[in-house]
Amino acid sequence: MMRTVTAFWHDSFLAHDHPAGENEAEWTGRLAYREPHPDRPERMRNVNRILRTEIPERIEWVEPDPATRDQLTRTHEPSYLEELQAFCEQGGGRLTAETGANEHTYRAARHAAGAARSAAEHALSTSDDEVPYALVRPSGHHAQPDRADGFCYLNNVAVAADHVLATRDVDRVAVVDWDVHHGNGTQECFYDREDVCVVGIHNDHQSWDPEHHPQTGNLDEVGTGTGTGYNVNVPLPPGAGDEGYELVLDRIVDPVLEAYDPDLLLVSAGQDPGTVDPLGRNVVTKAGFETLGARIAALAAAHADGNLAIVQEGGYQVSHLAYATLGVLEGVLGIDSDVADPLAWIDEDVESTRRAVADAVDHHAEYWPTLA
């Protein structure tokens, strides 16, 4: 049968916004122009438009219900949810140096978490010919149980994983996160658990805030207690691109998923490893994202009974994000729309990536002998 995508989308995603300033930082008054925050609504407008115009016959659009309080409190502290809701109802502002909110943010975040939950349920309820994709904003993978971080408020993927583990016949969930920034919030949510294995592929950027973002994304952050070994960080050098990311899938993601044998594979799909992204330093092209989509669909078929759900995370070059995300879904669908990448002009640093992957393999082989 022809494979299709079920896309979960809600217009509230466009109403959420951050205060303008100097890129993501607060306005100082030194400059002449208040720059819109990198996480601007136009990101999602462009992705929505390119999917509707280029592959309309392959996508069914569904409006999700918001995540309920009970669903959210499986992942987040009730006191944090109350504080976030009150902050937004009072008009919002800046929560951290880089993360702000307005009066619409909490509603948008609840619908984003609900979209991820619905995508996970859909993956478990339909054949692998229907791939669910949560086209959400705000993103979620930096949100920790008790705090917002990195443009994220509710951890969409974690809410989805906790929901299906609590309500469906699911014992193990794997999360593959290829956003260029370390998914520290997802790591924090499952750091002491073995029922969720998190594989994070990201730039080696360290922590950006010791108070709000204490995790580093280093190789030695492998989990604790019963979760030891189930947090697999793969920090990559600047310049990693198409060949390097496929190498990570070959040497780390594939053998880890084969050994873990999850019932569901969730993908935190941030397309900010893309070439020219202002908040990343990697050079994955649209063709590289097509490969990521094709490979992740094949890995889900091989190791997760075909149960795959994709959840949008970052990507901040408002034009390239749309092309890159189209590439991901083309790869998942096994099609080629003949839309070329208009910004694929930077060569990758393959040798540095190979060394980084070798280091990651050596480190994680203690917990995953299949890597050796």
Positions annotated as catalytic residues are 142
Q: Is 331 exposed, middle or buried (0-12, 13-18, 19+ CB in 10 A)?
A: buried
Q: Write out the two tokens for 338.
A: 């003949």
Dihedral angle, C-alpha 257, 144, 115, 284, nearest 10 ° = -60
The answer to whether the beta carbons of residues 244 and 348 sit under 8 Å apart is yes
CA 109 to chain centre: 14
Amino acid at 72: L
Q: Which residues contact 194 (CB under 8 A, 6 or more apart)?
A: 226, 227, 230
Number of helices and strands in the chain (H, E): 11, 10
Token pair recorded at residue 184:
């520290």
**Does the N-terminal peptide bond of residue 369 adopt cis geometry, omega within 30 degrees of 0?**
no
Taking alpha carbons only, the member of 252, 191, 266 closest to residue 226 is 191
- C-alpha closest to that of 278 among 184, 356, 343: 343
> Cα angle at 301 between 64 and 223, to 5 degrees?
75
